[in-house]
Each structure stands twice: as structure tokens, then as C-alpha cells.
Structure 1
């Protein structure tokens, strides 16, 4: 997969003068990514799990904002642009850092987004947050690689959960627990999947860890009841 991206980057680099300004590099990358290669949103099947697997996105040229952004960001880095992802609510963005200021792009189209457009897109989210919601700048910070991966995994988590695909859901949940060892919600959610699969001892162990690390949890009594039920059932579960 990385080799394929390297080949695409080399194609683009061969068209760039060595002294090309960052803005020229950005324009050529947008043209190359969107118009020539044809990367775009999979609007006909937006909730297909394949949209989150980069090798499938590279093959089909269709994806969701975050998977398209990951490929775009790798190409951007290889042509000398400083760019990163932005975990904007509801729609992952690309930030390209130029001397004259940051440019925010929609990964589905490579179109730049004005500040007013970003503020408008944020309004429904802010309305849900109430009076204490943070301003726009709070939602435009750089996303770390760990945050990007967690967001991709959580997209898959919701897809597999909605389809009741418990084995794939467990696979994703295992990765989230490893990636985010301090996130007790992910540990609790893994316990729920394990319980659904009949892995009662493993589920009980996760809930015990959850209670030990999170003694003031808001769902404390509910988790204690679930744990007692699991311990009463016992048994090895799946092998």
C-alpha cells in the first residue's frame, strides 16, 4: 500500500519545478488528487466499512473524509507541504500550513473552506453543547496520528455495531483498548462485546479493571450488577 502511494507521489513530484512555491505545490496536489486520480467521497455507500480501509480506498478511489485525508496527507508530505489532519466535529478536515496562513480543505473535494463556512458548519454542534461551548479555534487544532487512528477505528466500531458484526467489532475494540489504554469507556465497551460473544470470564475481567481504575464512574452501580451477573454465569465462553 505504501509503495503505491510512493509511486503516486513520484508522479506528482516529476511535474513540480524544484523551486515551486508552496501554493503552486498545493494547487497541483489538489488537481492531481481530485481531478486526475479521482479520489472522492463514496456517496452511494458512505457507511461501507471498506471506506475506512486504506488499501480499498486506494483501489476504488472512494472513501470518507478521514481515509481520503490520510492518503492526501502522505502525498502532501512527499511534495514538501506541511499539512495535518483536523478532527472537526462530524467531518474530518485537512489543514495545509502556508506562510500566509492555514488553508483548510474538504478531503471529499479538495475545496478550501473559508472561516465563515467553518463557523456555519460548526453551528449545529455548538447548539448541542450549550452556552459553555468552545469557539471555532478549539476545533481547528492539529490531530495527532493517534487521534486520527482512533477516529478511524471508532468509525469502524459504529459500522460493525450497527450491523451486529460482533467478531469484527471485537477486533476493532481490541485495537482501541490498546491504542487508548487510559480510555475506560473503550474498556467497558470491549466488555460488552465479549459478553455478547459469551466470553464471560474475559468480560468480567474488563469490568473489574474498569471499576478499579474508575471508582467514581457515573454507571458504577450498573457495572457492578453486570459484573455480578457475569461472575454468576462463569464458564469458559468461546475458544
Structure 2
């Protein structure tokens, strides 16, 4: 029997072990910041409906790749989930309520739907925090099946994976060890943080500083002391004219991370606008 979904409190997440963090509920917490009236029970019922529709078919299939093929066919062909290629940076692509209602999303949001439905059916699908687009992986014997949720769950071979990672690494060619490291499963905290970073980037680009600060603050709730989130929240405060918040966050950033690539630029900015005394390091 399906247990009704309960959303956790943000304040409990930092102390929650990664393997105990609920992925779907966590993504709905992120969405609830933007949509306070979000109906978590309804959204949970939609994904449960997908799983219930598939259960008899998937249970009758023995091989995991074929189970996954049936799940992908239902989600991407029959229900119609798809990557939003036309408006990739639309923030609605990151909010699970919008993704479920519109059937459009970005890679990590679609991966969340795919993973959640698969796991409800006993299929151990994991995320991969791959450079560029987020991917998913299914254990198959001694290896894995890697799929692209942004493109209807299409399987990716080694050659394509190497080509995708090439622009993101020095030298442009991933050896076996590098590729194996990049294909490790992503924990729930990593996924939630990547979602929030995506949203922060979208809002910062649009100079929507209230929402950008909110995303950085949630990152710090999930993982206190995260350097980029501390810096980004401080810069957002600065853009909003919240001088005390900017002084505290940016001051802590340069004090704790004096050797960061941008520490000197942040320090000079603080000194220039008179928010802090110059520090000796």
C-alpha cells in the first residue's frame, strides 16, 4: 500500500544522511518556495499512477534493461514527458509541479520523474551528475546502462559519453578512470543542490535577486558553508542593498577561502565599497 507523501522541513535536511534524503519530496520543497499552494499529495498521486499503470507489465519482464525500456516508453512516448529544447532556461523546467503538469522539463527534473517512477517499480535507477546534461544509470551485470532523460531516455554508448564530456575537461579526452568517476551515482543531496544551482543561475542571469538569494540560501540549508552558495548569497544581498547580509557572507567567504580563484576580486569589491576592513592573509 502506498504511503501518503510527507514533505520534510527545510531545517531538518542538513542533519539528514544523504541516503535518507527523499528525492521527490526534496524537489517539491524547492518547488514550494515558488508555488506555496503546491499540492504535494496530488503530484505524488500522478507519479504513483504512472507506476501503477506499468506495474503488471514491468513485473512480468525479467531483464532490467527491458523493464526500463517499458518505463521509458510509457513516460516519454505515451504520457509525453519531454525535454524543453525550445526554452531550456525557463525556470518552470526545474520545478517538479510544473514539469509534471506541463510534461516539459530540464534533464535533472526529468531524471527525477524517471527515477522516482522506476524506483516505485523496484528498478534501481540512479542519477549521474554528468558535465553538461544530467544523466541516469541502471546497473546491468558488471556494467551499466546510461540514458539521457532529456532525450526520451535514449541510451548512450561510450563514444558518445566521451564526446559529451570532452568540452568540460582539460585536454578534451576522458580516460577510463576519469569517465568512471564521472559516471558514479549522484546522491540525493547532490541532485537537490544541482537543481538549486540551475535555478540560481537562471535567476542571477535575469537579475531576479530575491529569487537568486533564496536559491543560494536553500543551498546553504542543505550543505552549510558551501563556498559558492555563500558567495552567491552575499552578492545577491549586495545587489538588493542588504548591506549587513552582504558584509557577513562575503566577509566570511574571503576569510574562509582566501585562496579561491575569485577571493581577491571579492575582497577588493568589499574594500572598494567600504563594507569591510582590508584583511591580512
What TM-score do you get using the length of structure 1 for normalisation? 0.88
CA deviations on 1:117-148 (whole Å, 9 max, x unpaired) are 1112222223xx23897632121111111111
- How far did residue 49 of structure 1 move? 0.4
1:33-182 → structure 2 map (5 Å cutoff): 33-99=75-141, 101-108=143-150, 109-126=152-169, 129-130=170-171, 135-182=178-225
Counterparts in 2 of 1:120 and 1:227: CA distance versus 1, 3 Å: closer
Gaps of 5+ in 2: 1-42, 277-281
Aligned counterparts of 2:160 and 2:266: Cα–Cα separation in 1: 43
Considering only aligned residues, what root-mean-square deviation do their CA atoms show, in Å? Answer: 2.1
Aligned counterparts of 2:238 and 2:217: Cα–Cα separation in 1: 14
Q: Which moved more, 1:211-220 or 1:153-162?
A: 211-220
Q: Which has the higher contact order (CA 8 A, sep 6+)?
A: 2
Q: Which moved more, 1:86-95 or 1:201-210?
A: 201-210
2:19 matched residue in structure 1: none
Q: Which moved more, 1:65-74 or 1:92-101?
A: 92-101
Task: Tell me the SS of whatever aligns to 1:90.
Answer: coil
Aligned counterparts of 1:174 and 1:83: Cα–Cα separation in 2: 29
1:194 matched residue in structure 2: 237
Rg (Cα) greater in structure: 1
Equivalent pair of 1:201/1:230 in contact (CA under 8 Å)? no
Gaps of 5+ in 1: 233-239
Aligned counterparts of 1:23 and 1:225: Cα–Cα separation in 2: 54
Equivalent pair of 2:162/2:174 in contact (CA under 8 Å)? no
**How many residues are treated as equivalent by the alignment?**
230
